[in-house]
Structure 1
Amino acid sequence: MLEQQVELTRLVLDHRTDMQQHLIARVLPHLGEAERSAVRELIEILDEEDGITPDLAYNLDTVLAEIRMAIAAGTTAKQVAIPGAQLIGCAEAFDTRKSVTPAAEALQAALPAVEQLYQAVRNALNFAEAVKLSLRMFDEG
């Protein structure tokens, strides 16, 4: 059990390494001012705290939501008519073409690293909670 907790903690540490720089260089420049405050708060937490806490998970989740909303805002879809020569069995059909702004594209590229850290933090917290509940069951039984 201890080995599993150590491995989960190691994963968090691996993903946490350079996350501040990742957020500063690859996320902040592509967000609006309102969204930047959540990222700045996460950067501050990463700088000041070294624990794996529910607050860290909450802040990561908030930043992920801000990134995803910015990606959605920078992505547009438009209907494009398919040429009649390519149609079989219908008079008209449309294809959807998505266009992504450079900022949304950059955020899409930056998103996986933040998602991986969030998942590693959640896994470590969930395992710790399971251990705590198991120990409580032994004490009560």
Structure 2
Amino acid sequence: MVDLVVTATQVLPSSGDTEKGIAGEAITAGQAVYKRATDGYWLKAQCDGTAEEAGATNCGIALVSALAANAPIVVALPGSIVTLGAGAAPAAGTIYCIAAAAGGIAPSADMATTNKVTVLAIGIGSNQVLVARVYNAGSVKP
């Protein structure tokens, strides 16, 4: 399996909490992001970096694209329902994690035992996911 292929224009919030912030790099709507503790910038999350980069303390899904660093961004937080669109087609009941590719969202079956696994979302049907945040420091696949 591969990371979800999200079309930025199909990403829509359905319900739940969001947070407005500042991007620390270019980010595309639909990418997995984390909030860096040292400066509060939102950055692309990835499971093969540090625990913070894997979303150990704060993560979500970007709802808008930020074209460059210091651009405004809106992030769907855990508990939110987000439409990722027909291009991504998240399957109901599938657990999705922060992927190794920066900003990627991958099925949990794709996680390696060396990854810092963060459950990012659960597919709920109608091309939607329920944003979650369940972190595991590694060596254990969900």
TM-score bin, normalised by smaller chain:
under 0.3
TM-score, normalised to structure 1, is 0.28
Higher-Rg member (1/2): 1
TM-score, normalised to structure 2, is 0.28
Kindly indicate which of the two structures has a greater share of residues assigned to strand: 2
Kindly indicate which of the two structures has a greater share of residues assigned to helix: 1
- The answer to which structure, 1 or 2, has the higher relative contact order (CA under 8 A, 6+ apart) is 1
